[in-house]
Chain A
């Protein structure tokens, strides 16, 4: 695939580019950049979700216990259940391979390790992993994958004529091996991105294993919150577990708050301000969004492991439980908790984070995301229908709270049976210079049509 050419102005781990071919409605997204805040917008069934699903497919593959499968299409326990390769191939055409490329900035310690492995003259400030999986008799087969960094590339490719895998390197001596490679024939790759064990053991140094580990650590830093969230509960059981995230349906948000309390996870609200417990910080955000005036998680009885979320709607109102206020609080809670709970440098995928929220709170949600990005180096990728969220984001760009280059906004559309991705050109003044028709509803046309109708119906009666 074509190399990415995006420059990111930051050192912290982040996905900087993506390209997907022959996946669901996408024939080819072409390479597109991802920024600290990436927004996917568009009509229903325009392929927004599939872009997130590809990342989740790679994530669950990297976390799968089965090292022999090319891709883990998932089940009811994984973030996505995609069925089979044939189900996800563009137009179900199994003569094409599913292809993808992910470009990212590795963590600083990983960059140092890779530089140690390969030599300090090699540029490892960004890595790209490109891969292809196609349909074979025995099931999905990894056709190829390759890691690129600077001017170097190392990959693994299947030759259907010879029915063998071979190693490809640029330059040819990029990695030294202790014995000739390819005799006996090389074995199958690990999943769709890992060199087989024998290659790793023949190679001098750890570079093959470290490239794979770097990709796996990127995938493990990916967190996902789905569009449908659990109903609030009167009480939550928590026995001391430390969840990795808030759960796909946000069902672990309260557990995460308690886990954060137990290990004293603190958030710094700004220079010269006292660091706050996550719980307090989340409460402050809920207050700033005018949702509530107090929020507290309390154990029902000491040692009971049962917890309740107590809320004051207004300073004067009665103390009630999470179940007894509107849906909004319980729906936004997982979003805020996730953004401030996951380790710094994580990538958070949010599907319709605005769901069930009042327009003013949807706008405020943009501020929550900007705060997580600026304060904690989180990368946020959202799929959203919220005009209010976008407008607040544009305003914050104009106010210089976030740079326009730190946002990447896309409009997904469906044309002639395939999806099309258009990047919205965002200026530093917070304007979008290629605002697509139908990006959001047409409020002016609604208002004009209303006025027209009023004139037609009531003018003579005046």
Chain B
């Protein structure tokens, strides 16, 4: 389960991400494509990936990852789809009803929703988005497993939190 920011960071297009973080994102995508990538069958995640592709990086990690992902769309071992149902308040039925998550970014909710709907507990990977960090306790309490790819940024968020 890959938040779009991991893909964009892997291209070196996230200004706050140091080089080891960029490399870690690239490795994470390489591993994911060889394992399983989770998507919603309504195409929202794929559409967001596509929207964030940058034509200036045709041979970048994101573009090549996207092409490989596209090749795997018909391969159930590599690419799994789950259905999401709309919900007026929570965006998706599958997103937890929890006051502690009321401020969680609405466009990122699809990743958590797919992870929960999958019944397989895939990790949601995040690189540069601090929102996941701020909501990590509530998300985990609702069964969302997260992996923060960039330890440097986590350290920064921890410092900010402590400060």
Contacts and interface: CB of A to CB of B under 8 A. Distances in A.
Interface string A426-449: 010101111100000001111110
Interface stretch (A132-140, A153-161, A453-461): A453-461
A268 interface: no
Nearest to A452: B23
Interface stretch (B25-33, B40-48, B121-129, B131-139): B25-33
Q: Tell me which of A427, A434, A444, A455 has the highest count of chain B C-beta atoms within 10 A of its own C-beta.
A: A444
A445 B18 contact: no
B59 interface: yes
Contacts of A75: none
A429 B19 contact: no
Interface residues of A, number: 22
A282 to B, nearest CB: 30
Contacts, number: 69
A2 interface: no
Contacts of A427: 74
Contact of A452 (B27, B67, B68, B75): B27
A447 B74 contact: no
A455 B74 contact: no
A448 B20 contact: no
B75 A448 contact: no
Contacts of A444: 29-30, 33, 61, 64-65, 67-68
Interface string A90-115: 00000000000000000000000000
A257 B128 CA distance: 60
B73 A443 contact: no
A451 B26 contact: yes
Interface string A415-435: 000000000000101011111
A462 interface: yes
Contact of A445 (B30, B60, B74): B30
B144 interface: no
A363 to B, nearest CB: 13
A454 B72 contact: no
Interface residues of B, number: 25
A458 B27 CA distance: 17
B160 to A, nearest CB: 21
B74 A433 contact: yes
B22 interface: yes
Contacts of A451: 10, 12, 22-23, 26, 61
Contact of A448 (B27, B63, B71): B27
A176 to B, nearest CB: 53
Contact of B18 (A446, A448, A459): A459
Most buried by B among A431, A446, A448: A448
Contacts of B71: 431-432, 435
B20 to A, nearest CB: 5
Contacts of B33: 444
Nearest to A439: B71
A47 B13 CA distance: 43
A447 B72 contact: no
Nearest to B67: A443
Given A459-B20, A462-B19, A448 B61 contact: yes
A450 B60 CA distance: 9
B30 to A, nearest CB: 4
B88 to A, nearest CB: 32
B20 A435 contact: no
A419 B19 CA distance: 44
A392 B61 CA distance: 21
B73 A429 contact: yes
B26 A431 contact: no
Interface string B58-95: 01110111011001111100000000000000000000
A443 B64 CA distance: 6
A431 B71 CA distance: 6
Contacts of A431: 71-75
Interface of B: 10, 12, 18-20, 22-23, 26-27, 29-30, 33, 59-61, 63-65, 67-68, 71-75
Interface of A: 391, 427, 429, 431-435, 443-448, 451-452, 454-456, 458-459, 462
26 contacts: A427-B74, A429-B74, A431-B75, A434-B75, A435-B72, A443-B59, A443-B64, A443-B68, A444-B29, A444-B33, A444-B64, A444-B65, A447-B59, A447-B60, A447-B61, A447-B63, A447-B64, A448-B26, A451-B10, A451-B26, A451-B61, A452-B26, A452-B27, A455-B23, A456-B23, A462-B18
